[in-house]
């Protein structure tokens, strides 16, 4: 599809190049059984997270079984707060209803206890008590006066003293009468105490009756509103009983509350709105939570504390939800590497999935009631971590049965090329950036293919494409251009590399000064220019490495000098052993190959690994054996097998560009080039400068399939000629070793 700019095409909606992954994701989301949680694997930048969040929000619209949750005081066991569930939006209403209840109780109870009716009934009880008390005292007084005694009140109670001061207080009759009156006084005091207790009971009953007249209608209204839920009804019943027992709290003034520290007692009438779906924006759809810091507390909740008079205290109002609580009834997205970095988070997550509940663990203090959960967990991570968990964690496959594997590349066809253009269009629209011309998009497509090292593929790491979009816009702005042109994209790519190629520049300087030795013209026996890739994190580049081989009579076979110096990796060691296999396969039919050969990467002071230089090592070895010189203007990459077949390797683009760069430093002569595996041609995506040099015959690419082809190009001799030379020398070595 030809278009002028990306402004002319429809922006991309959804994700591109992940058909298999999207099908797997849909499959996992449609199954609600235990264990069908999802692991999304793939490279960073492939759109895993954004895709997951978008499709989860889509599914969440049709899933509305989530609830509001409140923690309330447990009147039976204050250390274990009760969890109450409500329909969406009802939790907040319940909290307000309880707040309104408490607020109304302040006014209504004070009003009731200050009412004329209450005062009238209260006074009646007190008056009756006083009247009966006075009658008893009056009768006792009259009885005593008839017997010559006066009644007198003291701190010790009621006492009798003789009216006649001259009375004989020691006579037996006086003492007997006094004891009789004292016993009678004790009976009266006891009767008064009994009347007092009756009056107190009557007052308490009056207080309770008055309070119930206020409290019961309010609580009954709430029970009628929320009574379908047994736990809520039970809580309201206990709330009624506790308020009746503590009505005095509602008519204490502010100063009394402070002095009595009763504010803490009133806290038990509060409601902790633990999960508020309306406030969290989940009124019309299930929650979708991305937790980027999955610490234990952030995942499973916590209980906060406060300092009161130097003491650390807590209560049910300090219970804070975790991500599992917030995602309850919906979806929770986590980065697995972050989960594994937090102690105990991974094990507790599996436990919650298994038990279908979240329990907030505390070392001391309160123990909140666990909350049941209905949740689907989506983990995002690398393929490596998936393999590790699958292999070493027996429970992993039990609870994460669905893997969604994001590919890092997609086929390069017209649909996907247009898809990349549409992605550019949508990104530019979304971020208010300049749109790209058709030619600029083509440069981006080439860059995308270069990222995956394949002309037939495109990268799905759209974060890398987004970086180029942003940086290309900068250079278009500098030019004051209406659109981003091809030159802007090329400039952005060049500058991206230029910002991080310090090591490459230092190595170039060493070639210029001769510190690193290399020849890019002439011929040498047993010397060849191999090619390597130097990785510097985000940036990698190719550079030639001189490989030398020497041969002599002996029986030690091929000696890998890098291995002897402990600079060789296992794959490189294997590649060197394959050389011995090739020699035996091709040159030991008449007699044993009795040689000692040394192979070395010259001026290499760091580790060497990989088998991509095994071809170059073999060619240097064959050159040394045959004494036929190798052209130094041709570099080589490609691994070989024991049968002499040349096999594909990685990094061919960087290797070819690296040798071209050194040839340019030393002087291009039109004869230089690179031998590489024929099957690597599709992986060759060269810079315009290098491709132009090839097109103009200033630089050359030699694709080969077998060792024989490569040797003929490198030496300019037929392989039959080289073969005869090798056989002749092997025979000579054999005779010398006898």
> Which two three-digit tokens encode residue 66?
């989530």
Please report the DSSP string for 403-447 in residue order.
EEE--SEEE-SHHHHHHHHHHHHHHHHHHT-PPBBHHHHHHHHHH
Say which residues have a Cβ less than 8 Å from residue 467's Cβ, sequence separation at least 6.
Answer: 496
For the four alpha carbons of 653, 658, 661 and 662, in that order, the dihedral sign comes to negative
Closest CA to 193 of 147, 143, 136: 136
Pairing of strands 331-335, 376-381: parallel
Residues 450-479: b if buried by 16+ CB within 10 A, e if exposed: bbbbbbebbbbbbebbeebbebbbebbeee
Among 608, 618, 474, which Cα is nearest to 545's? 608
Nearest to 677 by CA among 697, 699, 707, 654: 707
Taking CA atoms, 397 is separated from 38, 333, 335, 734, in Å, by 10, 18, 17, 60
The DSSP 8-state label assigned to residue 645 in this structure reads B
Is 146 catalytic? The answer is no
**85, 448, 594, 612: the active-site residue:** 612
Q: Cα-flanking dihedrals φ and ψ of residue 243, to 5°?
A: -65, -40
Please report where in the chains the tokens 């509305």 appear, as a residue: 64
DSSP lists the bridge partners of residue 379 as 39, 334
Tokens of 516: 């690193």
Positive or negative: CA dihedral 489, 495, 500, 505: positive
Q: Determine whether 655 is an active site residue.
A: yes
Distance of alpha carbon 189 from alpha carbon 183, whole angstroms: 10
Active site residue: 92, 95, 631, 655, which one? 655
83 closest CA partner among 271, 241, 239, 224: 271
Burial of residue 680 (CB within 10 Å: 0-12, 13-18, 19+) is: buried
Using CA atoms, how far apart are residues 595 and 555, in angstroms rounded to an integer? 5
Task: Give the Å distances, CA to CA, from 517 to 78, 501, 529, 534, 702.
Answer: 82, 21, 11, 18, 24
422, 14 Cβ separation under 8 angstroms: no
* Cα dihedral sign, 536-49-11-412: positive
Number of H helices, E strands in the chain: 26, 29
Which residues 6+ apart lie within 8 Å of 44 measured at CB? 461, 463
Q: Which residues are catalytic?
A: 612, 655
């Amino acid at each position: 599809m030809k278009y002028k700019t990306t402004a002319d095409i429809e922006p991309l909606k959804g994700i591109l190049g992940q058909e298999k992954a999207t099908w797997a994701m849909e499959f996992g989301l449609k199954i609600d059984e235990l264990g069908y949680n999802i692991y999304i694997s793939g490279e960073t930048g492939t759109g895993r997270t954004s895709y997951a969040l978008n499709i989860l929000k889509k599914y969440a619209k049709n899933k509305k079984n989530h609830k509001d949750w409140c923690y309330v005081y447990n009147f039976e066991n204050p250390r274990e707060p009760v969890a109450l569930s409500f329909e969406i939006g009802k939790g907040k209403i319940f909290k307000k209803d309880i707040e309104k209840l408490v607020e109304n109780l302040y006014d209504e109870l004070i009003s009731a206890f200050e009412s004329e009716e209450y005062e009238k009934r209260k006074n009646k009880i007190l008056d009756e008590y006083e009247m009966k008390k006075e009658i008893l005292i009056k009768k006792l007084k009259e009885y005593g006066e008839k017997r010559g005694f006066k009644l007198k009140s003291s701190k010790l109670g009621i006492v009798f003293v003789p009216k006649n001061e001259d009375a004989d207080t020691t006579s037996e009759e006086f003492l007997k009468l006094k004891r009789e009156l004292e016993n009678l006084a004790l009976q009266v005091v006891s009767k008064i105490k009994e009347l007092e207790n009756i009056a107190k009971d009557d007052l308490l009953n009056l207080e309770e009756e008055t309070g119930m007249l206020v409290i019961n209608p309010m609580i009954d209204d709430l029970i009628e509103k929320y009574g379908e839920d047994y736990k809520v009804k039970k809580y309201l019943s206990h709330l009624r009983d506790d308020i009746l027992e503590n009505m005095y709290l509602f008519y204490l003034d502010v100063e009394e509350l402070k002095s009595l520290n009763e504010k803490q007692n009133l806290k038990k009438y509060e409601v902790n709105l633990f999960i508020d779906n309306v406030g969290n924006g989940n009124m019309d759809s299930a929650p979708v939570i991305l937790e980027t810091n999955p610490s234990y507390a952030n995942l499973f909740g916590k209980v906060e504390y406060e300092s009161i008079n130097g003491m650390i205290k807590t209560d049910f109002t300090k219970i804070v939800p975790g991500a599992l609580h917030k995602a309850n009834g919906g979806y929770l997205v986590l980065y697995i590497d972050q989960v594994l970095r937090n102690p105990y988070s991974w094990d507790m997550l599996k436990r919650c999935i298994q038990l279908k509940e979240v329990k907030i663990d505390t070392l001391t203090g309160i123990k909140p009631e666990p909350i049941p959960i209905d949740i689907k967990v989506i983990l995002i991570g690398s393929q490596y971590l998936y393999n590790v968990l699958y292999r070493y964690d027996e429970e992993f496959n039990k609870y994460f049965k669905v893997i969604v594997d994001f590919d890092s590349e997609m086929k390069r066809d017209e649909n996907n090329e247009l898809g990349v253009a549409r992605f550019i269009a949508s990104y530019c629209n979304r971020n208010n950036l300049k749109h790209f011309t058709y030619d600029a998009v083509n440069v981006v497509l080439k860059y995308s293919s270069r990222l995956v090292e394949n002309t037939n593929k495109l990268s799905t790491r759209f974060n890398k494409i987004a970086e180029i979009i942003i940086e290309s816009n900068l250079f278009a702005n500098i030019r004051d251009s209406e659109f981003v042109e091809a030159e802007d994209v090329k400039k952005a790519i060049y500058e991206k590399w230029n910002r991080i190629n310090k090591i490459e520049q230092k190595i170039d300087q060493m070639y210029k000064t001769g510190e690193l030795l290399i020849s890019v013209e002439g011929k040498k026996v047993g010397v060849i220019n191999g090619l390597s890739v130097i990785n510097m994190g985000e940036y990698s580049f190719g550079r030639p490495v001189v490989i030398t081989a020497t041969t002599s009579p002996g029986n030690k076979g091929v000696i890998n000098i890098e291995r002897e110096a402990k600079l060789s990796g296992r794959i490189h060691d294997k590649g060197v052993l394959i050389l011995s296999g090739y020699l035996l396969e091709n040159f030991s039919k008449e007699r044993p190959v009795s040689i000692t050969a040394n192979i070395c990467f010259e001026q290499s002071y760091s580790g060497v690994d990989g088998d991509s230089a095994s071809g170059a090592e073999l060619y240097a070895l064959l050159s040394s054996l045959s004494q036929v010189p190798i052209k130094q203007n041709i570099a080589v990459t490609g691994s070989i097998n024991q049968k002499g077949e040349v096999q594909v390797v990685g990094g061919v683009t960087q290797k070819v560009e690296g040798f071209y760069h050194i040839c340019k430093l030393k002087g291009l002569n039109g004869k230089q080039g690179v031998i590489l595996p024929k099957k690597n041609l599709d992986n060759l995506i060269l810079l315009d400068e290098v491709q132009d040099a090839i097109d103009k015959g200033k630089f050359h690419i030699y694709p080969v399939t077998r060792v024989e082809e490569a040797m003929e190009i490198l030496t300019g001799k037929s392989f039959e000629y080289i073969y005869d030379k090798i056989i002749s020398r092997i025979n000579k070595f054999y005779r010398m070793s006898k």
